[in-house]
Amino acid sequence: MRASCCFIEPSCRKVEICNPYPPGKTDRALSGKMTATSSSLRFSGCFVTLLIWGCTSVVCLVDEQLTAQQATTIAGGANSYSCMDYYSICQEFFGAPTMVCLHNLLQNLCIPKFNEAMTSMKSTNWCTWGNVSNYYSNLSHCTEEISDCLMIPWPNPLVEQTFVDIHSRFFKECPSEELSDPPPVIVMALVITPICLIPLMVSLVVLKTKNGDGSS
């Protein structure tokens, strides 16, 4: 089907203006273009909405993971506390995470567990490292964990004094390893060996001297 054209002849010049669409289909073409444009806008709006939703979901997941990482708890206790709990306690009762707050937390959370574990054993077993190493490690981990949550350097004078008090209470009577003399057999061997070697060395020197004199 041919396109419709009209002719204008101003100043004896023929100018042809053509409509690229056949007669009767111009409206439909324009309507199709408008429909396509509307569809594109609608699709772009949906895409932007989905993009915003996806970004929001990712941000929420990242926030949840960070929160889970910050909410670290101390293992080994019936009632576990997170760093936010320690910080809240210090803020509520002491105004800030100070050494005084740390002292109270250690006295109420870490040391009682260690004392209970030690008193449950016979005092004769306190000096055996295999019997107390687990409790000692738990106490050390507890003091370190709370100090880190309160952003207080570890070790610190308070923690050191805590372990000094524990040692003076439970391990004061434990014998310390000191340097002792070797067994008598080893002492005798170390003394006899040089004594026996002296005559042998003298004999070798004398023999060597005689051989040298004879050859000359």
pLDDT tens digits along 6-51: 444 444 444 444 444 455 544 444 445 444 445 554 555 555 555 5
Minimum mean pLDDT range among 90-99, 157-166, 173-182: 173-182
Domain at 151, CATH number: 1.10.150.510
167 occurs within a structural domain: yes
User: Mean pLDDT across the stretch 65-71?
Assistant: 40
> Within a domain: residue 90?
yes
pLDDT value, residue 53 = 57
Residue 114 within a domain? yes
Choose the weakest-confidence range: 45-49, 67-71, 140-144: 67-71
pTM of this structure: 0.48
Structure confidence at residue 33 (pLDDT):
46
pLDDT beyond 50 at 169: yes
Per-residue pLDDT at 75 exceeds 90: no
Residue 98 resides in a domain: yes
Flag whether pLDDT at 62 surpasses 50: no
Domain assignment of residue 4, yes or no: no
Q: How many domains does the chain have?
A: 1
Asked if residue 162 belongs to a domain, the reply is: yes
Inter-residue contact 181 to 137 (CB < 8 Å): no
The position carrying tokens 């003399």 is 181
Q: Which domain holds residue 124?
A: 81-171
Each residue of 88-123: pLDDT tens digit?
A: 999 999 999 899 999 999 999 999 999 999 999 998
Does 54 fall in a domain? Answer: no
Residue 186 domain flag: no
pLDDT for position 52:
58
CA nearest neighbour of 76 among 131, 139, 162, 121: 139
Distance CA 73, CA 67 (A): 12
CA distance 138 to 140: 5
CA distance 174 to 193: 38
In this prediction, residues 160-165 reach a mean pLDDT of 94
Neighbours of 197 (CB within 10 A): 10
